[in-house]
Amino acid sequence: MDKQYIDSFYDRVKSDEKCEIFSLSLPLFLINKDLTVASEQFLKTNYDLLHTDIDVLASLFFNGEDYTLSPTDLYDGLIFSSGGMTKVLKKLEERKLIKREYISNDKRKKLVCLTQNGVELITEIMDNKACMLEKSFSILTNKEKDDLKKILAKLLYSLNS
């Protein structure tokens, strides 16, 4: 983004009290957009996967006991429709990144589990994305990173209250 545009934006919001809040929200939006676009390009180019695919793999990796969740837990947590989730799960299962297993006491329900390939892939992707993010935030000092983490956590927790 052009520095002149950014300077003009900040000058404008400083001069108008009603718009000052945008000096907080617009940078968050633009930073998120930039990180998302870079991440999507990286995932598509290197792994032929979309963010929705990675969201499922990451949810299983971080939230699932033994990397396992029910489809309902997955689409509730990811705000997917059940139809959209079915398409993503089918794609990941075809690529042998997940498997779906029946619950032993109820043959109508299946659990979604990461396969060893899925664990290895999501670990590799998270390592690579962490390097990308480190570069993006390298302009900040450690103190600034710690302060930003606390501020963002405070904002994030306030969304649920």
Residue 105 confidence (pLDDT): 72
The Cβ of residue 137 has, within 10 Å, a number of other Cβ atoms equal to 12
Per-residue pLDDT of the chain (161 residues; tens, 9 = 90+): 688 999 999 998 988 888 889 999 999 999 999 999 999 999 999 999 998 899 999 999 988 778 998 877 887 777 666 677 888 999 999 999 999 987 777 666 789 999 999 999 999 999 999 999 999 999 999 999 999 999 999 998 998 76
Q: What is the DSSP letter of 113?
A: E
pLDDT at 139 (0 to 100):
96
Secondary structure of residue 4 in the 3-state scheme: helix
pLDDT at 142: 96
